[in-house]
Amino acid sequence: MGTLALFLTGVSVLSPALPAQVARNVVTPFHDLAGIYKDQKSGKTLRLQVEDGRLTCRYADGSALVALHLLQVPTTDEFDIEESSARQKITFQRNLKGKVTALSFGGATYVRETAESEAPPSSDQISSPAPFPGPPPVRLRAEFVGKTGDFGAQQGKDLLVILERAGKLYLRDSSGNNHVLSELAFVRKTDAIAYTYATSEEDGGWVVAFEQRGNAPVWQIATQIGLYNRLPYSVPTGSSSINLVKPVRGLKEIRAAAMAATPPDEKGPFRKSDLVELRDLDPAVRLDIRYATPNNFLGAVVYTQARAFLQRPAAAALLRAVHRLQPLGFGVLIHDGYRPWYVTKIFWDATPESGKIFVADPAQGSRHNRGCAVDLDLYDLKTNEPVDMTSLYDEMSPRAFPDYPGGTSLQRWRRDLLRWAMEAEGFTVYESEWWHFDYEDWRKYAIENVPFEKLDAGKH
């Protein structure tokens, strides 16, 4: 996919790499360091994960998701960045019990939020699920239509996000600071209107100018430091073509290899599988199984049947979440549930390295493979139409993150409402996809590789 270059770029190697033996001299297990770290001042996050035996740090840098490979300095909690031209370091911080609680990088301190190696809390331990987002905000003001979006600098990786909050336009700069935009002037032209907005700071403020034709998207904004163009994924109405991944080789070949492969061995004991078909769960639960159609990130049919399943406890929790949403006027659209392991391998093998943050590694298995993960969206019970969210389903962009700050108040409110309902019932949102939720008991089920047509699922 051509646009994936926007989401993951390499960093020039201007200094010699450290000796290979440094990378092998591991003192701290990498899995003890994996997780999400957040700078409390700017709101920026770092995602550390283990990939092919290496510790990788991913972060948003302008319009890109940058991957940095870390090399441990022997007998310390310091790591050198392999790609850095200035021998930058990441230093981990521990509490009195020796647990990693934060890290220092680029002059900022990032506090650890979650760790991949830690088990999620059981249902009786959930004390602070996602908060209820409150009453719905008003719809986007007509004069703001087409103005929100993500804009990248023509030179470099600087990113500006124009968003709406509480009926006002904001500019979010690449440091994570939000500035209220006030209209200074507008000039009517033959087929467009030229607008000028500015922030209120006396020093270091922003001036933004652009032209807009009707409610069409604003494609370029001019600022006092240069031009910014709307990023391809940030088309306001969404574009399914922007999500297409160009497989690294033919899908037919990839499918044949995946069908012949064997899932990873696991040590039990595991609960007996008891998959429930979700179409029978409740009238407010509708199916929109994208992988049974070409309308998905591969642009090809992957599933043999348009069906969705979850393990019985997860299905019961999903039903409770639906009952939370119904009085608020929403039902749920199920995009995916249980996924045979071979499909996870198809996704992984077809996706270029630059997009693998959005797909599961078949060597570890997906929580979808265990019947304990669900991809879902909201629809309006009155209109039966899907609602507008901060991104499209399966969109490989920063807009997919559950903490993406852009878009409109109503889009973010719907996204947060879905998260509130699901996390209140024992699910946890996936860190890179607002639509993906894992059920708390996923570790208690084994990876399965049974195709849909061979399932003898229980009835709810």
> Hey, which residues are catalytic here?
433
| Residue whose C-alpha is closest to residue 421's, from 384, 451, 378 | 378
Q: How far apart are CA 178 and CA 170, in angstroms?
A: 6
The residue behind tokens 């209220």 is: 180
Cβ neighbours for 333, distance < 8 A, ≥ 6 positions apart: 286, 287, 288, 376, 377, 378, 379, 386
User: Is the Cα dihedral 257, 263, 264, 265 positive or negative?
Assistant: negative
Region of residue 423 (left: phi > 0; alpha: psi -120 to 50; beta: else): alpha
Q: How far apart are CA 197 and CA 206, in angstroms?
A: 8
* List of E strands, 323-442: 330-336, 373-380, 427-430, 433-439
Q: How far apart are CA 95 and CA 69, in angstroms?
A: 25
Reading the block at residue 163, the tokens are 């968003």
| Residue whose C-alpha is closest to residue 414's, from 433, 392, 430, 390 | 390
Phi, psi of 190 (to 5 degrees): -60, -50
What one-character-per-residue DSSP string does 192-255 give? Answer: -EEEEEE-S-SSS--EEEEEE-TTPPP-EEEETTEEEEE-GGG-TT--GGGG----SS-HHHHH
Return the amino acid letter for 83.
E
Q: Give the containing element (helix H, strand E) for 47.
A: strand 45-51
DSSP 3-state of 101: strand
Phi, psi of 415 (to 5 degrees): -60, -45
Burial degree of 268 (CB within 10 A; 0-12, 13-18, 19+): exposed
